[in-house]
A = this chain, B = another copy of it.
């Protein structure tokens, strides 16, 4: 075993303040501030500037974010609040992209994953004073008010299963369902099933995706999709498949909420000796790393997290700057169908 943890008890280091830098450089605190922030319209001779910079360097000066936040009224942090849904590698990828994009704009992203079985929803935003809060679920009116009076400038809800009227779409997941349905219909399927995820926390996401499938079915003049909730075990998936096949007009293609559900379906099909895609086509969503490893390899809809991230960052920075966020984006750049063998 090679793991270690390093801890230290007391923090002996006394904080280096701008006062110290000023003293060291032989100038006033304000000068230090001007130099370090490259304040416009404050011309400071290079000699002084250099002295200050060197003093700061020598002393290892780190400005106190608390003091700056106090003064400026908001920090340069963006807080993303996530429910404790079982997220996969997709979330990690997106978050890494967001971090990079925000960072280019001088903002730091941190994420708060809500606690498992917590009584009171905690108020991290109070601790952070973020400039903006991102969520993937609706925020109650008074919570939002509380955030605002705590200094949060921008509250962006990236997702809501409630209402499609207002605002600009951030992630049009309905499009995923559409693409799934379009693919299997183009392949000649006439009766479609939908495999819905079991965890309640996921249903906010599942709703829009399912809705997309429904829309396309209706546009194509087909029956609406037959929806089964499919937990992540082979037996349940097998039962769902039996159900679909026993319908008066049997289902021949299933759109799964995501690739994990699709993998469960594949396992269930094997249990029931149902051939995929021969007897039943299956299409997933997300294109997780193991999707290509399934037997048969999973056809799925891939999400381009890097363009998603860029979009989110644009919206947030626009809002922070007091401008109108950009209009809804072209979803074509966001999702692509990855055709493999399962459908």
Residues of A within 8 A of B (CB): 1-11, 13, 15-16, 60, 62-67, 69-70, 73, 75-77, 79, 84-89, 91-93, 95-97, 99-100, 103, 108-118, 122, 124, 126-129, 139, 145-146, 148-175, 207-208, 211-212, 232-234, 260, 263-264, 266-267, 270, 289-290, 292-295, 306, 315, 319, 322-325
Contact = CB atoms under 8 A, between A and B. Distances in A.
A236 B7 CA distance: 41
A70 B7 CA distance: 24
Q: How many copies does the complex hold?
A: 2
**Among all A-B residue pairs, the 8 with the closest Cβ atoms:** A1-B174, A100-B115, A84-B96, A66-B69, A99-B115, A267-B293, A66-B70, A110-B110
Contacts of A171: 3
Given A99-B114, A293-B264, A5 B156 contact: yes
Contacts of A145: 13, 60
A263 B99 CA distance: 30
A175 B1 contact: yes
A8 B153 CA distance: 8
Contact of A164 (B4, B89, B92): B4
A13 B148 contact: yes
A65 B127 contact: yes
A322 to B, nearest CB: 5
A5 B149 contact: no
A173 B3 CA distance: 7
Nearest to A318: B7
18 contacts: A1-B208, A2-B164, A3-B171, A5-B160, A5-B169, A6-B155, A7-B319, A9-B323, A15-B73, A65-B127, A75-B127, A77-B128, A96-B116, A103-B122, A108-B128, A109-B113, A110-B111, A232-B293
A99 B168 CA distance: 31
A55 to B, nearest CB: 15
B295 A146 contact: no
Contacts of A153: 10-11
A111 B113 contact: yes
A91 B151 CA distance: 30
Nearest to A168: B5
A149 B100 contact: no
Nearest to A67: B70
Given A2-B174, A3-B172, A63-B126, 12 more contacts: A2-B207, A3-B208, A6-B156, A6-B160, A7-B325, A65-B129, A66-B129, A88-B88, A116-B306, A233-B292, A260-B289, A266-B293
